[in-house]
Amino acid sequence: MKKNVLRGFVVLAVLALLAPAIALAGDAAMKSCKGEITAVDASAKTVTVKIEAMGQSEAKEMTLSIDDATKIVKDGQTVDLTALQKGDRVAVNYRHGENGAVAVSIGIQKG
């Protein structure tokens, strides 16, 4: 009986320690979207994209943070934030962080 109670406490303690990590892992799920860049703020390291949404009459905008791990690709080459321009069509992979959406990768699409 005492062993079962002890095992129960151990299981509860482990779950209590893992709960924050499990919650963060759920928030970090990768998402993707396509759209057109409407603004680039190099000093704030952000890009705003008007997202194409199927079946919706109005597109919505999303502002994404760019960090040191964000990969930006144009014509098969890795480029920096300064290569992004208003009007560029992009495909974006992103995750939600503590301060909003963070771009993991941005692919600049041709014409």
Q: Which whole number is the average pLDDT over 24-45?
A: 85
- φ, ψ (nearest 5 deg) of residue 29: -60, 135
CATH architecture, domain 31-108: Beta Barrel (2.40)
Indicate the domain borders of the chain: 31-108
**Per-residue pLDDT for 34 more than 80?**
yes
Amino acid identity of residue 9, one-letter, is F
pLDDT attached to residue 53: 73
H-run or E-run covering 3: helix 2-27
Q: For residue 22, what pLDDT band results from cuts at 50, 70 and 90?
A: very low
pLDDT tens-digit profile of 85-104?
999 999 999 999 888 999 99
Residue the block writes with tokens 């144009």: 74
